[in-house]
Structure 1
Amino acid sequence: LAEIGIAFFLFIVGLEMNFSKFMKLGKTIFLTAIGQIVITFIFGYLVSLFFFDSSTSFIIALALTFSSTMIVVKILSDKREIDTLHGRIIIGILLIQDVVAIFALSFLQSGHLTAPLIGSSIIKGVLLFSATFFVSMFIIPLVFKLAAKSQELLFISAVAWLFLVSIFSHLLGFSFAIGAFLAGVSLAQLDYSFEVVSRVKPIRDFFSIIFFVALGMTTVPSIPTFAITPIIILSLFVIIGNPLIVIIVMGLLGFSKKSSFLTGISIGQASEFSLIIATQAFLIGKISQTALSIVALITAITLVATSYIIKYDDLLYSKFSKILSVFEFRKKKIYELAHKVENHFDAVLFGCDRIGYSIIQTFAKLKYKFLVVDFNPEIIQELASKGISCLYGDFEDFEIIGKIDMKKPRIFISTIPDFRGNVRLIRNVRRMNKNAAIFVTATTINEALELYEKGADYVIMPHFLGGEHTSYILENLKRENISQRREKHIEELKKRKLLKQEHPAR
């Protein structure tokens, strides 16, 4: 039953995996993720060697390399930070970790990795991938098109496909988990994937509970006294070491200390994959029950700790902000990306992506002299290449504010949905420029009302703007111009697609 829970969990991971979005994330996320995985594994292995043999140390280091996709995405969603810069980077890192974890699982059952065995595994893996995706491309769409006429039949077909691929994977010498993941990925591009996910999740949750309960029943009684020290040391390594590795790597890539910090602390925990890898290793005799229990306890400790750390990330950042400046290795070089920063601007825009893109176009039409401030170095490089006045940095950074003459601009706009940051921006602007119009962004009604109380002239609420714009179109609707609006909108969407802009993740 526990293994069925793992299968359903990985099936949904595959269903929700968006590889097209992964391709848009760029080299920054790839380098950060690979750097974190490699460095965490090396350090984890070296630390584990002080307490265990090389084989057990290898499995423990591998298990502690991965972070919890379910927990982190849930917390980011609750905090409405999935679509922020650090939110997108975190999700990209987690996606790469999930892919690496799947490959790690596929080799766990191979015993000693000799050259012939690796070659055999690769051949079998290619066969499994090829067969699965051949069927998913030419047969599955037809089957699910018929099955979609009934919600119950759609659900049964999805579960049947899950077990069919899992059994085929097992016959080839791989685990059921690998087959379940591939079954999910093969259905991810179907139009019915949303319905399948919603139907399968309750079953996944039920069997996942059985998996965790079964694991917990074998954990605590088997922990000897000598294991307490490695549990404490390895837990601290995951909670502190993982974030530190990410902060250093992102600092080297040119990101601000805030983006690096918020990304780093979000992956300072072990994951569901840690438990799955350790369990699989135990079942095939690669590690002892004690080692499995150690991984389980480290996972539990780090998951609880990181939940509170992420919850209070802004407070922690304010406490450690000065110390974090040490990790902005390319700060001077990045500031050199600033393009045409002069003493006078009509408007200053903080945050340039989807909303900021439209605002820039309006500024250009109005012939405003404007400055864009953003903490994504890739966006700054793109703006500079177009000759747009821009400055790299965080709008909460006093050094950045000091580079701008806050007394002269008539308009300040923040498209960044950071409540505390926007409050500080309003306070700073009002202190130096009482007549300027201030536009800020919020994601909840309570935040918007409070920002108005703090002195904002207008609060942008992206989730409501669509309805307001549609109402405006309806009020001015004319038969002769609706087709023109349609064509104009299609052209605008194509431009945004070329700029790799997307609607927020589901």
Structure 2
Amino acid sequence: MPHDVDLIILLAAGFGLALIFGYIAARLRLPPLIGYLIAGIIISPNTPGIVGDIHLANQLAELGVMFLMFGVGMHFSLNDLMQVRRIALPGAILQIAVATLLGMGVSIIWGWSFGSALVFGLSLSCASTVVLLKALGDRGLLDSVNGKIAVGWLLVEDLVMVLALVLLPATAVLLGGQPLADAASDENIWLTLGTTLLKVVGFIAFMLIIGKRLVPMIMQIVARLGSRELFTLTVVAAAVSIAFGAYKFFGVSMALGAFFAGMVVKESDFSHRAEEETLPLREIFAILFFVAVGMLFDPRIIIEQPLHVLAVVAIIMIGKTIAAMALVLFFRYPVNTALTVGASLAQIGEFSFILAALGVSLNLLSLEGQNLILAGALISITLNSFVFSAVEPIQKWIRERSNLARMLERSGDPLAMLPDEVPQDYLRDQVVIVGHGEVGRRITRSLMEENIKVVIAEENREIVEDLREKGIAAVSGMATEPSVLIQAHIQHARLLVLSPMDILDIHKIVDIAKTLNPQIQVLVCAASKEEAEVIRRDNIGEVYFAKEEMAKNMSNHILNQIQLAHHEAPTH
């Protein structure tokens, strides 16, 4: 077969099989990327049948990495991270340390070198953002407190892995490997490391000072032309050229360049449009990346070294999960949060593949190590949806054993009770507001400006701590638990205000509130028109729906303006 059609064969076979197995995976309620990895395994040189060109696959995988990292940069939100920083920052760093040490421990027992063990451990420590976002999205948890903590946790993991991708090439010789390009010796390794860090700092400074202004400005100029294809091309060109420029002029990885390209595009007023219009292209290259990763996998590892594979899966799904849950409980979050975060981290994905490939290229990680990582990823991603499904039954089992639940949830938590400084006369005829999101914040501000007494019930401990620092009465916990509303003194409250939340939670909270205080008035902010209709039909309380209220306010304003114009018009 002529050499010049190798790319077409690879794309045709890769996309065709990825479609078939991705569809099968989706039908089985598994992430489609399992299907893409299987498609890669089928066309790899390690299995009989169609064989794709592995060198071409590697080049396409490089593009895939760039677009994956670009997507991570576009989704990276410093605000989201800051909301959960007190748990996500220390929690993620400690969990990475525990998982890395577990991976290093077993690999050193297997007789691997320190450098191999370090790369292996790091690869097992980071979960897949793609898998997590899909799992949370499917369960409607993305906007929940638990979802935000899990996403914030993974953002910290992503940042640590980006740092590892930068530092590994510079420290390769010190760890027993070899450099990617310019040969470095033991004598100048610290100089190499120092130079690398300086270049990274220089690149970051360049992006934050110049790139942050230049890229959004170019996007704005192109957007004025009204050409959709030119706008898409601008975003893609920014991603690829910044990634290549980072590598060429600053000597840092293209992955880091693409990550910062995504971050500066996010700063533009057209970030939503950029994300929407480049999504198909990013997904196509992400699929190629997973197919290429599958092509590197040798399935014989599962048969030849089953105990090694089991050890890897145990570290990913048991070691990491228990470590994460223990850390969440240590920070005094409820069992439900601990279980959700633990389930979120019980898998590995794209960063693991990128780190493993870099480790192999630096001669730090063997192909056996890479295959074990890929096997662990395939198995853990496949089983992750079942782990998420087990969260509710496990939580129910723990709650039924009240002693265990009290021990795990630490009933003596100071944030679960109002501070002693709150005077008793304040806790009568107050307004209890459940949830301190955007709606809750605005209502609280308006009421406090009118000197109306307010008590906030909020799941996010960090928000509760911030409120207390400002002198606002707040209690931590899920308002579906009677103890939380009791602590908010709902029995003496005048009014209960519920921020947008799940309709089942609204029913539970109102039932508890009316049991404790039958005379209490209830105001509900509905998340959708359908939800507003259900609440009105069930006669839960007075309902407000954002779009309805906006339309009413605008209509009233228009009518007032028309009446004013008629009033001011000269009479003849």
Residue 325 of structure 2 corresponds to residue 247 of structure 1: yes
| Mapping 1:3-402, distance limit 5 Å | 3-23=62-82, 25-51=84-110, 53=112, 54-110=114-170, 111-113=172-174, 114-133=189-208, 135-137=210-212, 139-148=214-223, 149=225, 150-171=227-248, 173-223=251-301, 225=303, 227-310=305-388, 313-321=391-399, 322=402, 323-328=404-409, 331-335=412-416, 337-339=418-420, 340=422, 345=429, 347-360=431-444, 371-385=455-469, 388-400=472-484
Secondary structure at 1:190 match in 2: coil
- The alpha-carbon deviation at position 274 of structure 1 amounts to 1.1
> Which segment drifts farther, 447-456 or 290-299?
447-456
* Cα offset, 1:9, TM superposition: 1.2
Choose 174-183 or 266-275, whichever is displaced more.
174-183
- Give RMSD over aligned pairs: 3.4
Query: How far apart are 1:267 and its partner, in Å?
Result: 2.5
Task: Indicate how the Cα distance of structure 1 residues 151 and 119 shifts in structure 2: closer, same or farther if over 3 A, else same.
Answer: same
Matched residue type, 2:268: L
Task: Name structure 2 gaps, 5 residues minimum.
Answer: 1-59, 175-188, 565-572
Most deviating of 202-211 and 142-151: 142-151
Give how far 1:222 is off: 3.8
Deviates more, 1:428-437 or 1:75-84: 428-437
1:415 maps to which of 489, 499, 502: 499
Q: What TM-score does the superposition give when structure 2 sets the normalisation length?
A: 0.73
User: Contact 1:222 / 1:293 at 8 angstroms: preserved in 2?
Assistant: no
CA apart distance, 1:397: 2.9
Q: How far apart are 1:479 and its partner, in Å?
A: 4.3
Distance 2:375 2:257 in 1: 28
Distance 1:453 1:262 in 2: 33
Is the alpha carbon distance of 1:447 and 1:300 closer, same or farther for their aligned partners in structure 2, counting shifts above 3 Å? farther
Q: CA deviation at 1:130?
A: 4.2
Name the counterpart of 1:485. none
Equivalent residues of 1:426, 1:454 under 8 A apart = no
Paired amino acid for 2:121: A
Instruction: State the Cα distance separating 1:223 from its structure 2 match.
Output: 0.8
Mapping 1:408-487, distance limit 5 Å:
409=493, 411-415=495-499, 417-431=501-515, 433-440=517-524, 443=527, 456-459=540-543, 464-477=545-558, 478-479=560-561
- Does the CA contact (< 8 Å) of 1:274 and 1:295 recur in 2? yes
1:273 Cα deviation (Å)? 0.8
1:10 Cα deviation after fit: 1.0
- SS of structure 1 residue aligned to 2:305: helix
Q: d(CA) in 2 for partners of 1:404 and 1:174? A: 53
> For the Cα contact (< 8 Å) 1:338–1:380, is it kept in 2?
no
CA distance in 2, matches of 1:405, 1:126: 52
SS at match of 2:299: helix
Change (3 A) 1:202 1:360: closer
For residues 436 and 286 of structure 2, the distance between their equivalents in structure 1, rounded to whole angstroms, comes to 41
Unaligned runs of at least 5 residues, structure 1: 483-506
- Identity among equivalent positions (%) equals 22
Quickly say closer, same or farther: Cα 1:96–1:237, change in 2 above 3 A.
Answer: same
How many residue pairs end up in the alignment? 479
Once the two structures are TM-superposed, the CA of residue 456 in structure 1 deviates from its matched residue by: 1.9
Decide which moves more: 111-120 or 323-332: 323-332
Task: Decide whether aligned partners of structure 1 residues 174 and 389 sit closer, same or farther in structure 2, where only a CA change above 3 A counts.
Answer: closer
Cα distance change, pair 310–467 in 1 and its aligned pair in 2 (3 A): farther
Contact (CA 8 Å) 2:69, 2:255: kept in 1 or not?
yes
Tell me: CA distance 1:395–1:191, structure 2 relative to 1, closer, same or farther (3 Å). closer
Partners of 2:284 and 2:494 lie apart in 1 by 57
Aligned residues of 2:127 and 2:346 also touching (Cα < 8 A) = yes
